[in-house]
Amino acid sequence: MMRRTLGTTGGGSSFGFNTDEKGQFQMRNIATGNYRLIVRQTRPFTPGPGPQTDPGEMASLPVTIAGADLDNVMVMTTPGVAITGQVVFEQGPPSPIPGMPGPLRVMAMVGNPDDMAGLQTPQPALVKPDLTFAMKGLLGEFLLRASAPSQYLKSVTVGSEDITDKPREFKSNDRVTITLTSRASTVEGDVSDGAGAPSAEAGVILFSEDKAAWRFNSSRVKRSPVDPSGHFRLAGLLPGRYLIVAVPRERLGMQIGNDTAIFEELSKVATALVIGEDEERKVDLKIVMGSGGQ
């Protein structure tokens, strides 16, 4: 019988255990709080573009420890959900795709990292010559992404529902359409400090005015450092209303998760920007200190 690795995550703590031959497990000395129990098979797993190993079955369920022992917890594992889909090039598929180093792939990104710590991300799905793909092993909420040279993500849909930036718990046999476009916009400019001198120690964050897209893995959030001359360039932007702000470089790597508080603070010092389709815009910025920029 395949042994399984188990763990709980939550409240800033994590625990790991193995099951015995009967699939039983025991965890001791766990403080009260809300946790998530993660179960996965300990099969060998090979990342990268080569042959992949099936990661096996897994499970994820919330657990509340309220001061008393929690007995007889039944965990049912699953291989996850399998989906199929089609990649559509809005302006027609380039043939061949210039600069493409290998097959086009569709990737799954964790939708809510706090709920999925410890679970394996599904392996990227290879896109076939007819531009179809199949992906398996989806458990939890995910976003789907694909890209190609000079092509940018425009939308991800299931039926008539746009799920581009909406984490989805996929259902078996969901049919996904991923649309790529070459008609994306670019914003570039120069960043200066309070004295008006070019600032090389800055980063630029651009995000949608729409609060529903205020998450670090949104397709409408872009981050970029500036070059030694203080110049920046953000490519692959879709039409819409955005906010853009220059912050100290060390702030560029901050974790902007599902909490909108950081975006809220950044919005107070950001510059509003309306971007059209296939447009090149120039915007010069001053690095902001304090508030959302500190």
Residues 6+ apart with CB under 8 A from 102: 49
Q: What is the pLDDT of residue 28?
A: 82
Q: What's the mean per-residue pLDDT of the chain?
A: 83
Higher-pLDDT residue of 3 and 231 is 231
Q: What is the pLDDT of residue 80?
A: 87
pLDDT band per the 50, 70, 90 thresholds, residue 6: very low
Q: What is the pLDDT of residue 118?
A: 64
Is 35 in contact with 115 (CB distance < 8 Å)?
no
User: Rounded mean pLDDT of 26-49?
Assistant: 72
| Cα 269 to Cα 205, 266, 287, distances in angstroms | 12, 6, 10
Report the b/e string of 213-248 with b at 16+ CB within 10 A: bbbbbbbbbbbbebeeebebebeebbebebbbbbbe
Q: What is the pLDDT of residue 250?
A: 84
Secondary structure (DSSP) of 132-186: EEEEEEE-SEEEEEE-BTTBEEEEEEETTEE-TTS-EEPPTT-EEEEEEES--EE
Is 8 in contact with 44 (CB distance < 8 Å)?
no
Residues 67 and 52: their CA atoms lie apart, in Å, by 43
Lookup: tokens for 137: 């092993």
**Beta-bridge partners for 86:** 132, 177
What count of Cα atoms within 13 Å lies in the side-chain half-sphere of residue 69? 5
Q: What percentage of residues in the chain have a pLDDT greater than 90?
A: 48
Residues 242 and 31: their CA atoms lie apart, in Å, by 43
Q: What percentage of residues in the chain have a pLDDT greater than 70?
A: 81
Give residue-wise pLDDT tens across range 109-121.
988 766 666 667 8
Statement: residue 1 has pLDDT above 80: no
Statement: residue 291 has pLDDT above 50: no
Nearest partner of 41 among 146, 141, 120, judged by Cα: 120
Is 271 in contact with 285 (CB distance < 8 Å)?
yes
User: Rounded mean pLDDT of 11-40?
Assistant: 77
Give residue-wise pLDDT tens across range 55-84.
678 887 788 888 788 888 888 888 889 999
Give residue-wise pLDDT tens across range 147-175.
888 899 999 999 999 999 999 999 998 99
Instruction: Label the pairing between strands 285-286 and 185-192.
Output: parallel
Q: What is the pLDDT of residue 69?
A: 86
Give residue-wise pLDDT tens across range 211-255.
988 888 899 999 999 999 999 999 999 999 999 999 998 887 766
Q: What is the pLDDT of residue 146?
A: 93
Count the neighbouring beta carbons within 10 Å of the beta carbon of residue 281. 17
CA 187 distance to own-chain centroid: 22
Q: What is the pLDDT of residue 35?
A: 82
Query: Domains in the chain, ordered, with CATH?
Result: 4-65 (no CATH), 81-181 (2.60.40.1120), 185-293 (2.60.40.1120)
